[in-house]
Structure 1
Amino acid sequence: MNVFSLDDSVGYTINIIANLLKRELNDEFKREGVEVMAEQWALLLRLQERAGMNQLELAQATSRDNASITRSLVVLEKKQLIERQQVDQDRRDKYLALTPAGQALVPRMVACAQQVLERATQGMTTEEVTLFNQIIRKMIGNLS
């Protein structure tokens, strides 16, 4: 009979890595005076990559649920990093776009993320990092 071991579980290990990366990214943002949280930065980056998405498209692009997106967007809008633009006559559907302040913040956030990833992959070869990403993407594909 196989006994399930949490410590040997791929899902548990991935969760630990995700939590550690979020914590490190939040700490790096704080050190660099970037006033966003790890949960918000992917939204800003996706909006920079593809302006004019609506909330549902942004949720899909970041693999997040609509409720958590709503909360994050309210915070980002209050910080004047994003704005909602009405689509034609439909008041319910709004395009999302970075403000100039949001656009200016993205390169600083990317630099912070690169610092964290350099620390996280320290001691790993380029081939190991590539293989890790391939395996993780395969798992994402299996579950999507």
Structure 2
Amino acid sequence: MYNTYIMNYETLPHYWVNHLGFQIRKKLEEGFAAKKLDVTAEEWALLLILSNHEKLSPTDLSQLSLRDTTTVSRMLDRLERKALIARRRTHKDRRKVDIEMTPAGRELFPELAEVAQSLIAASLVGVASEHQKVVTGILRKMSANLAEMKGKPDV
């Protein structure tokens, strides 16, 4: 039976956010591969977060990247094998680890960032800076709205 409740995905900002996210991941990976940089878009996301922090716990990385801890752990394993991150035991509790970029990771980061910056610039061609600020503000508000739902029953 045909569903009478129809949503036009083309009019939903959520569809376009998701669509853009997929495009960005694909183009990032194409850009990294073209420069022979052995990093996925998902790994880049973790390196980008780490670039703004001296070190983070896996839990913090999981929360900041909105990925579950198992997925982050697998990505960290790959980044560690590539010698781009290191796991360091904390001094306060030897059972806990902090994640930090290695010197090799910090050395590679500018090349990765150059690819990302180029993609960002290409995606913003023809978009006025005031519109960029408005879109960013709207997306942040939508994200905050969803974050406030944590622990509440589904809508």
Partner of 1:125: 128
Percent of pairs identical after alignment? 31
1:89-143 deviations in Å (ceiling 9; x for gaps): 7443101111110011111111111100111111211112221111111111111
TM-score, structure 1 length as denominator? 0.92
User: How is 1:86-105 mapped onto 2 (pairs within 5 angstroms)?
Assistant: 86-88=89-91, 90-105=93-108
Gaps of 5+ in 2: 148-155
Q: Matched residue of 1:131: which SS?
A: helix
Ranked by relative contact order (alpha carbons within 8 Å, sequence separation 6 or more), the top structure is: 1
TM-score, structure 2 length as denominator? 0.85
Matched length: 144
Gaps of 5+ in 1: none
CA RMSD between the two structures: 1.6
Distance in 2 of aligned mates of 1:61 and 1:76? 17
Distance in 1 of aligned mates of 2:131 and 2:138? 10
Distance in 1 of aligned mates of 2:70 and 2:83? 20
Partner of 2:43: 40
Distance in 2 of aligned mates of 1:22 and 1:132? 20
Choose 1 or 2 for highest CA Rg.
Answer: 2
